[in-house]
Amino acid sequence: MRSYTIAVLAGDGIGPEVMQQADAVLAAVEDRFTLTFERRPADVGGIAIDNHGHALPQQTIDTCREADAVLFGSVGGPRWESLPPDQQPERAALLPLRKTFGLFANLRPAIIFPQLRSASPLKPEVIGEGLDVLVVRELTGGIYFGEPKSRTADRAVDTMVYTRREIERISHVAFQAARKRNGRVTSIDKANVLANGVLWREVVTEVAAGYPDVELGHMYVDNAAMQLVRNPRQFDVILCGNMFGDILSDEASMITGSLGMLPSASLSSSSVGSTAQPVFGLYEPSGGSAPDIAGRDLANPIAQILSLAMLLQYSFGLDEAYEAILNAITSVLDDGWRTADIMSDGCRLVGTADIGSRIAAAVRDR
């Protein structure tokens, strides 16, 4: 029986309660597919500050280092807002984790299940029968990290730099992800005015030659921003540099209509979804800690459950388990069960624990 180790960092706010539902779904996956997952919990964020004096204690880093992948909840809340900015949970936990483990590739799906089309701000004829777009964003290069940076009273300088190696490795992630999906990559650049955009387009095209089964297209970032709201179904995998990906992934997420449905992954390797060797990654919902509803059985756990599904697919190559979770969520939504953030007329309102247990049961039984 294959065994995997997952570091479980539930964090603050709604993190523990949505993580509990993800764990129930993971137990259902174990039962259905005869797998074993060792969960290793560790403190992170505000709870770690309270218990250990730091948002990311060394023992938490060690737990993550000994694991095959990390399932992350959420961090932050009013209790820690008076701390200096660099000590607050959001900055003192997640950013150092990304740096420590070299997490250079961010994957953010924007999924509209057919049952939730009414939640999207876009017209029904634009959404069609649903939407599934994956934004692959380079996390560690580009204008956010380029040197030199400078500022005087009347002038500020930021430098947008990309190397061939940085572009190659994020391109491999996008093409390998596309192989697990619908086989299309749209690379985003500004090659008509930026020198690094010319290099980006050249290198992506070179990498594409190694993936003859994947269709490649190029698009300028301004046109891509327009096309995402005009005709989002034309996209499968969107490949972006750091700043463009930052902007477009937020735009894509908002067309889904609910932060409670948005997972994400950050990976440290270009080899995604390998069954031979686990690929280290950190998986988390895109929403925040929502302290206003924490502990009230109101949070939507689906983003956390989808983050687990991504972990199983991209870190462990367990495509069948990934599909089982997606099918279970679809089944529960088909039956009309909704948390408050996705509630609509004619559906049945349930809480965090109820919808989580229904998804787990659907994974186990179908």
Catalytic positions, written as ranges? 144, 190, 222, 246, 250
Whole-angstrom Cα distance, residue 348 to residue 279? 39
Local structure of residue 85 (DSSP, 8 states): G
Amino acid at 207: V
Question: First vs last Cα of the chain: how many Å apart?
Answer: 22
Instruction: Report the candidate in 366, 252, 268, 363 with the shortest Cα–Cα distance to residue 315.
Output: 268
Total Cβ atoms within 10 A of residue 329: 24
CA distances from 112 to 12, 82, 303, 348 (A): 27, 37, 12, 19
Whole-angstrom Cα distance, residue 361 to residue 350? 15
Supply φ then ψ for residue 346, to 5 degrees.
85, -5
Whole-angstrom Cα distance, residue 272 to residue 363? 24
Classify strands 150-151 and 281-285 as parallel, antiparallel or unpaired: unpaired
Is the separation of the CB atoms in 314 and 263 below 8 Å? no
CA-atom Rg of the chain in angstroms:
20
- Beta-carbon contacts of 244 under 8 Å, excluding residues fewer than 6 positions away, are 137, 188, 189, 190, 221, 224
Q: Which two tokens stand for residue 152?
A: 């005087």
